[in-house]
Structure formats: C-alpha cells, structure tokens
Structure 1
Amino acid sequence: MKNTQSTILSIDNHEGDEPLSNHSDNASFQSIIEKRMSRRTMMKGSLGTALMGFFATTAYSPLAAAGSNKHSPLIGFEAIDVSAADTVTLPKGYKHQVMLPWGQPISGHQPAFDPLTNSGEDQAHQVGSHHDGMHFFPIEGKDPYQGSSEDGLLVMNHEYVEPRFMHASAQGKELSRNAVPLKADGQRDADEVLKEIHGHGVSVVRVKKQANGDWAVEADPRNRRIHGLTEMEISGPVRGTDFVKTKFSPDGTKTRGTLNNCAHGVTPWNTYLAAEENWAGYFINHGEQPREQTRYGVTKEGSGRYAWELADTGADEFVRYDVTPKGASATEDYRNEANAFGWMVEIDPFNPDVAPVKRTQLGRFAHEALCSSLPLKVSQLFATPETMRVLSTYTNTSVLSLTKRRQQAVICWTTVPCTLRVSMKTALAIGCL
C-alpha cells in the first residue's frame, strides 16, 4: 500500500501477469532452445521439415491450399503513409465505425453510460472493459462460420479493467493503469469493487448492418453480460473433487464468474470458448500455500491484483478472493476458490438459459486461445509419431478428440513459449498457434 497523494490511498499491483512459478530444477524451455539452436535454425530445420512432411501426408493440407492461391490478385486500394498520429487513417473509399465501446447498454435494463456515476449493478448491463477475443456468429445459429454476414451475435471478451477511469474517487489523482483507490481506513468501496468485477467477462450482443452501411445494436433477449459473478457449472475430471469444494459450492460442481479472458475459440456445435489467462494474481493467500497455488503464482503478500477481498461490506462475493484457510474445512471458507479459475469457459450465445461451463478436461494454465477442426480425426491429423513429437516438444500443443451432437472434432489448445516464433504459413497450417 502506498500514499500516492495526501488525499488518497491506493494499491498498485502492476500488470497482473503471472510470475515465473516453476520451482523445480528442470531447465526452462527458453534455456533449452537458446542452448541448442538459434530461432532461424529451428524454423528452417527440424520443425519446418517435420511440419511440411506432416501436412504432405494429411488428407487436407492448408499449406498446399495457401500455395495454390499465390497468383491471386492483390486487394486494390491506395496505400497510406506511416503515421504516429492518434487517429484512424484509412485508404480512400474506406470508413471506420466504433462499435460496442465500454459502457454501452446492451440488455433490457438500459442505464446510460457515465463512467463516474454508473453503479456496479449498471455495469452488469453494459459492455465490459478492455476487449480482447471476439467472434461473430451468424444469426441463423447453425454454424459458427456459415450464414449471414450482416446480422448476428457478436461475442467478445473483456480481459481487465482500469479503475482510474471507472470511479469518481480516482479522479484528479495520479494513479497508474493498475492502481485502485482505497478508503481512509484501507478498505475498498464495495460498489467500486462490484463495478470492476462486472467489467470483466464476456458480452453477447446482436448487431446488424443497416441500409446506410453502419452497424447497430439490435434489441434481442440473447443480449447479455457474463461477468465475474455469473454462476457457472464445472465439468470434466475436476467436477465434484475436493479441489473445487467451497462454501459456495460444497459439492464442487459450481463456481461464480470468469476473469482475465484473453483470446477465444469456437466449436463446430456453434458455441464460444473464452480463455482464462492471467487469473492467479486476483487471489491472495496469507497462509501456507498448497502446491496448486505456488505452482500457478497465487499472490502471497499484500493483496490480490485489484484488492477485491478488501471490499468494505465483507460480502461473500468479495471475501472469496482471499483464499487463506479460515474455516474447519474447505466447505466453510474459500481456500479452493482459485482452483475454479484457469480453464476454458464454454458459452452458448444462442441460449441464455444455459449456464456457462468450465471445461476442465481442456487443461488448466494461462490459456491464450483454442481452435477446433472438423471432421478430421486424431489419426488423420497426426499422421506420424515424429509429427506428434515435434508439436508436443516445440509448441506445447495439446490435442483432445471430442464427440458432441454426433459430430467429431479435434480441439487444440496451446501455450506457445515466447522464444518460439513461426512463419505465418506455419502458424496457419498448425491451426492452433
């Protein structure tokens, strides 16, 4: 905690990215790569050779398809000059439109946007903050790619918030993008905390192209916010285990909210997948941490990223961010609350009555994105043991074969080390980088 000015206290936990938390003696992936090969050697050598050989043996080759279009004509427009101006610059004949900015009302309850007077409850009915992954679902609701390109549900993530722009108490104060205002007693205003929690998550909004070419929000019962307090189901191998039993869900089948949603994915059965990325820093444990907290980087000192656990009402939806054991058992406190985060969250945009689902079978880490392929089978996608070895060694790619609604799909998700850079063609060919 620090006093940024004589009139206000604040907490600044900086960017909130997950810290390095591999406490084993194993060499890091980065050190191995730096020791054995240069980036150029890796891309021109074994990885590139293996990938090319792999796609040459599959029934469908994205690289081959891309190569067949090399003589296609370029998009015809007049180039624009490089500029550092704080504006949008487009070629002649093009125009831009700002769509769905933070705070735009989207549901039946329509509070006008005012960043300094809107309440925490207002934010639950407005577009969230800091957009990230998004997908346009054609309004027919049958396929994530096929259908109308002028009428559909736009689904998008809201990764984080900047409290300095959200609260009247922060105005006129020199706060960084990550700092939060505190009351004189060191606590946080509960409604400000609620507003920040509701600013996270996902928006589902129907948008339609108008006769004049502009896009507009359409009133639709499917328009809604999914945020840091939305009740969700836990599915997969973690469901019902001791790791996710809490005071809120003693049987370990439910949780509340999704946080720090970065990129996304879609499924062949027309649902949206929101990734939970840098989620660990939102929680604080002042006591002895179990391995599942130290390994992922749950905060040990000070406060959580936005100090939500310090809300002055002490309400249940706020204290859960303090995962310090306090009760006689896990069902009497929130020691396991952090374990309900770090997953892929499946959302059905076309059915607001279906609760979002945390798909624990897709693994737990700082998720960036997810992709799916239909109708390839695992045996077709990974034609050789060498291909599987190269992908798993160099890209940390995981693969899962799922069957749903009589359709088979291959789901890929990945955490690509920052030392690995691939060409655009290779990235497109892998399909999940």
Structure 2
Amino acid sequence: MTKSHDVSVQDFNDEDSNVSSNPTFESVLNARLSRRNILRGSIGSMATAVLGTSVLSACGGGNDEPAPGPVPQFTPIEKLSFAAVAKSLEDKVTVPVGYTASVIYALGDPLRAATADYKNDGTDADFENRAGDHHDGMEWFGLGADGKASLTSVDRGLLAMNHEATTDEKLSSFFLHADGGKSTLPRPAAEVDKEVNIHGISVVEVKKAADGKWSYTKDSAFNFRLTPWSDVELSGPLRGHALAKTKYSPTAVKTRGTINNCGTGKSPWGSFLTGEENWVGYFARGAADDAARGDKSVVALKRYSSVQGGASRHGWETAGTEDKYQRFNNSKTGASADGSDDYRNELNTFGYIVEIDAYDKTKAAKKRSALGRFAHESAVFGKAEAGKPLAVYMGDDSRGEYIYKFVSEAVWDAADASPASRIAAGDKYLDKGKLYVAKFNADGKGQWIELAMSNTAIAAYAAYKFADQADICVNTRLAADAVGATKMDRPEWCSVNPKNGEVYYALTNNSARRVDATGSQVTVDSANPRAYSDVHKAKSSPQLGNSHGHILRLKEDAAGAAATGFSWDVYLFGAEADASTSNINLSNLTGDQDFSSPDGLAFSPSTGICWIQTDDGAYTDVTNCMMLAGLPGAVGDGAKKTLSYTKADGSKLDVDTYVGKAPAADTLKRFLVGSIACEITGLAETPDGKALFVNIQHPGETTAMANIANPSKYTSQWPSNAGYGAGKRPRSATIVITKNDGGRIGS
C-alpha cells in the first residue's frame, strides 16, 4: 500500500466510500474519544549490521545448479535467536548482527541485453523492458538445472513481483522525468508512456553464485513485464457479460493490463496471483456523466469512489486522442446502449485477483472475477486437502471495508499440484465457487455469509438491484453492504499459519474509527476495539482513530475450507511501547517489539515465522518503517479484555475484545528497519529458508518535486548510498537477506 505525501492530492489509499449502515460489530458502541499521554523514552543503541555495498552483476543462466534433492520440510523454530534491531531514522536498511542484506533488483534495471543500463537521471526510456516502480508483493518460483519448475531449487529461481505505483507530486511521477515532469493538464504523452509502463508486474530470474552472492539475470529468457497496456483475459462470471463490454473488447472477453498491484499469492498448482488495489484513482469521469448514464451504474461507481468530475491520479486520459489514453476516461461518450463504443464499463474490468504463469510468458494472464471486485490485497490459500474444496482468503484495503473468502466448487486433486497447464488449473478451481464475506460477533465467533442471488438480503436489496452472480462479483462491496458484513480497519495482507491453518489479517489502521461516530466514521467494536488520540511530532493535530492497527486471526470451524463459522481473536495490537496498556498497548509490546500500521504479512513455509511489515505514517516521528519476526500461538491462547470508554453524553461504554497471549522477548522481535520514507513490503524465500527477499518501496517519497535538481535535498538517496546503481535519485528495490553462517533466517 503506497501513501501519498502531497496533501493537496486525493490519497487513493485512504479511500472511504462505505456509507452503508452496516454494523461495525452489530452496531455495538459509541463512546467519547479516549486520550493518551505518552512520554517517549530514549532507546538504547545496539550493534546491528548495516546494508552495505552491493554490486549488480548481469549474468547468464548457467547449468551449475545442484542436483534436485528432497523438498525441504517445514521445521518450525521455537524461538528467535537474533538480537532485535533498534528503531532508526537513518537513511539505510538495517538487519541484525550476523546477517547480510544486498540490493539485487531496482527500478529501471534492464530485463534484456538490448536495453541500456539505468542512468537514473530522468532520461531513461524503454520501461516496458525494465523493472517497474514501487516493488510490492512478491513470490518465489524455483528453477531446476533443466530450466523447468522446481520445488527443490534453492540457488536459482524466478521472483514474480508487483510494481504498485509511482512516487508523485500532484500529477507527475517526478523522479522518472529529467525536470520532474509536467504537473498540469494536459499531460505529455512521452511522460505518460513512462508512467504507465512502470506499473504492473515483473518476472525476473535470480541466481546465487558460487561465492554465495545473489544477483538477477539481465538477459534471462524467463524475464518479462506485464503492464497496464498488456492484453489480459477476463474469466469467471464476468467473461462475456454486458458489464464488461468496451470499445476494446465489445464481446467482453478481455481488457488491457493490470494496475496498482499490491499483495500477492501462490496457488497450490504453482501460479502467481496478484491483487489490484487502488485502481479506481487512475480513471476519470466527466462532470456530467451521472446524468448521461442515468442508470444504476451511478450507484455502483460511487460505491467504488468513482465520482463524476473527479481528477484522476495522473491525468493519463489527457495525453492524446489515441485509444490507449482515452480508455482512462470512463465517461459515457458513445451512442450505444451497451457501452461497446466507449469506456463507460472499463472500471468493471479492474479490481480483481489476476492469475499469471510466472514460468511461461506466452500464457495469457486471467482476471478471476469469481473472487470478487474490490481493493484487493493478497489472495492466500488455506490448506489443500484431497477431496475437499479450496479456500482463498482476501481483504479489501479501504477504511470500513470487509474480509472475504472464496470456496472452490471443484475439490482438490493432488495431481493438479503439477498440472500440464497452470492457467487451466486456475480455470478449474477459481472460476466457479462460492464467495463469502465475514461478519464478526462480540462473543469471539463469526460467520461467513454467502454473496449469491439466493441470499434474500441481496435479491431484495433496495439500494442496488442485482441482476445475477456476475453483477455480485463486479459490485461485491454493495453485496457485502446488503448482508450486513462487519466494517474493518482496512484489511491489508492475509496469510495462513502453516502450523495450524489459522488465517491472519493485517488491519493496518483506520483514521475514521471513533467511539462517538458521525458521518462516514465507524464506531468501535469487539474486533476493532480501539479509538484513541496519538501524538506525532511532525503533525499539528493529534492522530485520531486506530492509528497503529492490529493483526486479527481466525480459526475455521470443523468443516475447514467450507466452514461458514469461525472463532477469532487479535494476535497483536500495534502500539508504541510506552502507550497505556489499558486501551492502546493491549499486547504489552516492548521497545524491541513495538510497531505501527501492519501491512505486509506472510508466514515462512520453512520456519513458521510470521513476518510483519509496516507502512506507517503514525510512528514515523520515531522510526522508519520496519519488519518484525513473530512466532504466534493459536486463537484463544490469550484472554478477554474489556476496554472502558466514556461517551460524549457522559455515559460509560465497555467493549470486550479478545487479545492473544502477550509475546515473549524471543517470540517477537524487530528484524529490519528501512531507509527514510520507505514502506517495507513484499516477501519471498527459498524453500530452505536461507535466503529472504524483501522489497523496499518508495524511499524518499517525501522529497519535494521542486528539489528534483538538488540531490542534497532528496529525503533519501537509497540505494545509491548503499553502493547500488547510477545516480542519486531514490529507487524502489529488492534486497536479499542471508545469514552469515549459512543458516535459516531467524533461527
């Protein structure tokens, strides 16, 4: 999730379009804002290893991989042995003593021999053949000595990763352009072409040399990009449906590209899943478009924050009359009844989980519409069991939005773990099934509510008349409104604990959470129980709501993937260590553990470590964003806790929540702190757990565009200040972390 630092521009990552009257836990609770009085103490220094010089090597694919051995087994570690990294505001990436971190793949790095090395001065071109920007979610795909998919390879593989967005001021992605670019309309086509092409995904080969150093392979035949201009097929209920007809695809079978990709997932059959998050902001509608449409599409558009006359994020629709630019104008401009002569339906082709075969760039990517349309983060599979359906868990990352689950109609066949076609396997498991939304109860239980025309709450919904299942899949938020789903504190990434199958959700924060809620605010409830005032040294007014976020987990009932009931509690509440333990620091975090705004979340399939990554605006007066390692227990290992509030009218309000066991010093520690103004996001590891790949996104995003010609005024110069690459403009990049003794990360 990328933040905007320009307050004059709409922050598309802080969308708040849910004006339904749904309960925030069965409408429990109004109360007066609690107040915190925090005295920050000094943090003792400790020895840490700082990210040092890393030299890019462009190497060809070799044949020196070890012979395939047995698939590495899941062997969970019992305690974290590294020394916790201290909080830091320095412009560097810091990891524990005994570990080494190296940059291997950054914005602009060429993916083919014919593309020039990146100059990083704003004059570079050919971005469809370079690494994109804002590296985000990422997955590992092993390559054997024969160049085929391998579950055992630990020295050579593919990294498939998202390129979420750009570092902007006003309209321009200013670090891409020599003079910072044009921040007024119309936008120049040459600038727009660059900006479009740095979005999407990349697949890049990486390899470990004999000396243990990792690098990416510049001219690998596996390398490729998928950008917002690439052909992508529509799949599931939306394919061929009237809601997806456009001038580009009058038969509604395809669209162009994928955009604002954030979280990821990896299917049991070995494909790459990427989620489209804040896609709506890239498109514009004319000032009179509501009247021109005159139908229920206006309701749907507003529910997804597409407002007539609203500015798009970059103004790409103004770059010229070519069709590739005009598709970003979603106004009704044509005379057709079905939208086949304009792009009024273009938004309906975005907001999905997209499936890609990382090993085969000739295979068309597919948008899996059966999984619903919203601000997708990751898509994570529950345990695959033969003869049982598969469950895919997802979250909608906007304030007051929902948590979802998809259950496949097909039951799992272990033979599909190595299918003849990975995309065909996706057709089997991801195009037909049941879509559910979560409702959390105040007793620590919850229900999955099916989103289908057979649900009378949907069929009879007064605010929007659903036509069929495709309509539900396109307008999933409206369907969830109709059934009374629980509004959550911005569901970010989710992950499944390999030890027990429980599902973890990062709820990053919610500035609209209140005790006495008004307007578009939402009230505190059991699963989102905190509303408080937090002080930030660089901000003139207190941060209100749940500014630090929390990590919720749930345990399915006995039916497993197909269960319609679950139990839940909160694994960790983000907080500053010196905050009150009565209503803020409910997990009793220490200075080695405290964090804010959990975002990226992934369990190691090797060690069972729960990696927690932050994208923070609330604690950045004290520390840059970070990554922590946790060893969780299980749902129910803690206790019920009651938060007491005083409402505006003076009455008392008690809110019960369920807090997991407080972490010990060796079960939760800070592992990494990033460079200035970055987000830590994206995580993949080799099957043996000995190489960990992490993305450092948008370092220096707080730089002012006016300072583009003066590197001394960049708020960050990473990774050039760590010895990587040309120029001094900050770049999003992938690092690889290894343990100096060759052991597993975290052990």
TM over 0.5: yes
Are positions 1:350 and 2:359 aligned together?
A: yes
CA offsets per residue over residues 139-171 of structure 1, 9 Å max, x none?
Answer: 148778x32122100010011112011112327
Q: 2:183 aligns with which of 181, 184, 188?
A: 181
Larger deviation, residues 128-137 vs 415-424: 415-424
Summarize the Cα distance change of 1:108–1:252 in structure 2 as closer, same or farther, 3 Å threshold.
farther
Summarize the Cα distance change of 1:236–1:18 in structure 2 as closer, same or farther, 3 Å threshold.
farther
CA offsets per residue over residues 320-373 of structure 1, 9 Å max, x none?
Answer: 111111111211111111111000000001111111111111111111111123
Is the Cα contact below 8 Å between 1:370 and 1:413 reproduced in 2? no
Is the Cα contact below 8 Å between 2:390 and 2:408 reproduced in 1? no
Summarize the Cα distance change of 1:190–1:381 in structure 2 as closer, same or farther, 3 Å threshold.
closer
Once superposed, which parts of structure 1, at least 4 consecutive aligned residues long, lie more than 6 Å away?
A: 141-144, 377-382, 408-416, 419-428
Give secondary structure in 2 for the equivalent of 1:275.
Answer: strand
Alignment of 1:56-75 (within 5 A): 74-75=79-80
Give secondary structure in 2 for the equivalent of 1:232.
Answer: strand
> Who is 2:226 aligned against?
226
Alignment of 1:31-42 (within 5 A): 32=27, 34=29
Is the Cα contact below 8 Å between 2:496 and 2:503 reproduced in 1? no
Q: 1:138 aligns with which of 126, 138, 142?
A: 142
Q: 1:164 aligns with which of 162, 169, 174?
A: 174
Are positions 1:324 and 2:320 aligned together?
A: no
Give secondary structure in 2 for the equivalent of 1:212.
Answer: coil
Are positions 1:280 and 2:284 aligned together?
A: no
Summarize the Cα distance change of 1:164–1:33 in structure 2 as closer, same or farther, 3 Å threshold.
farther
> Who is 1:308 aligned against?
316
The Cα of 1:89 is off from its aligned counterpart by 2.6
Rounded Cα–Cα distance in structure 2 between residues aligned with 1:338 and 1:210:
45
CA offsets per residue over residues 238-260 of structure 1, 9 Å max, x none?
Answer: 10111111111110001001011
> Who is 1:260 aligned against?
260
State the TM-score, normalized to the length of structure 2: 0.45
> Who is 1:90 aligned against?
95
Rounded Cα–Cα distance in structure 2 between residues aligned with 1:209 and 1:148:
11
Identical-residue share of aligned pairs (%): 34
State the TM-score, normalized to the length of structure 1: 0.75
Are positions 1:370 and 2:379 aligned together?
A: yes
The Cα of 1:23 is off from its aligned counterpart by 4.4
> Who is 1:295 aligned against?
303
CA offsets per residue over residues 364-399 of structure 1, 9 Å max, x none?
Answer: 1111111123532796889xxxxxxxxxxx973312
Structure 2: stretches of 5+ with no match in the other structure: 1-5, 32-73, 168-172, 392-400, 418-427, 439-486, 506-747
Q: Which protein has the bigger helix share?
A: 1
Summarize the Cα distance change of 1:399–1:377 in structure 2 as closer, same or farther, 3 Å threshold.
farther
Rounded Cα–Cα distance in structure 2 between residues aligned with 1:353 and 1:426:
33
Would you say how many aligned residue pairs link Structure 1 and Structure 2?
365
Summarize the Cα distance change of 1:424–1:82 in structure 2 as closer, same or farther, 3 Å threshold.
farther
Is the Cα contact below 8 Å between 2:356 and 2:365 reproduced in 1? yes
Structure 1 counterpart of 2:281, one-letter code: G
Give secondary structure in 1 for the equivalent of 2:190.
Answer: helix
Give secondary structure in 2 for the equivalent of 1:237.
Answer: helix
Rounded Cα–Cα distance in structure 1 between residues aligned with 2:369 and 2:279:
15
Give secondary structure in 2 for the equivalent of 1:17.
Answer: helix
Structure 1: stretches of 5+ with no match in the other structure: 1-9, 37-65, 172-179, 383-393
Q: Which protein has the bigger strand share?
A: 2
CA offsets per residue over residues 66-120 of structure 1, 9 Å max, x none?
Answer: 9x96xx553444454443322223333321101211111113541321341123x
> Who is 2:18 aligned against?
22
Rounded Cα–Cα distance in structure 2 between residues aligned with 1:426 and 1:216:
29
Rounded Cα–Cα distance in structure 1 between residues aligned with 2:500 and 2:229:
36
Give secondary structure in 2 for the equivalent of 1:90.
Answer: strand
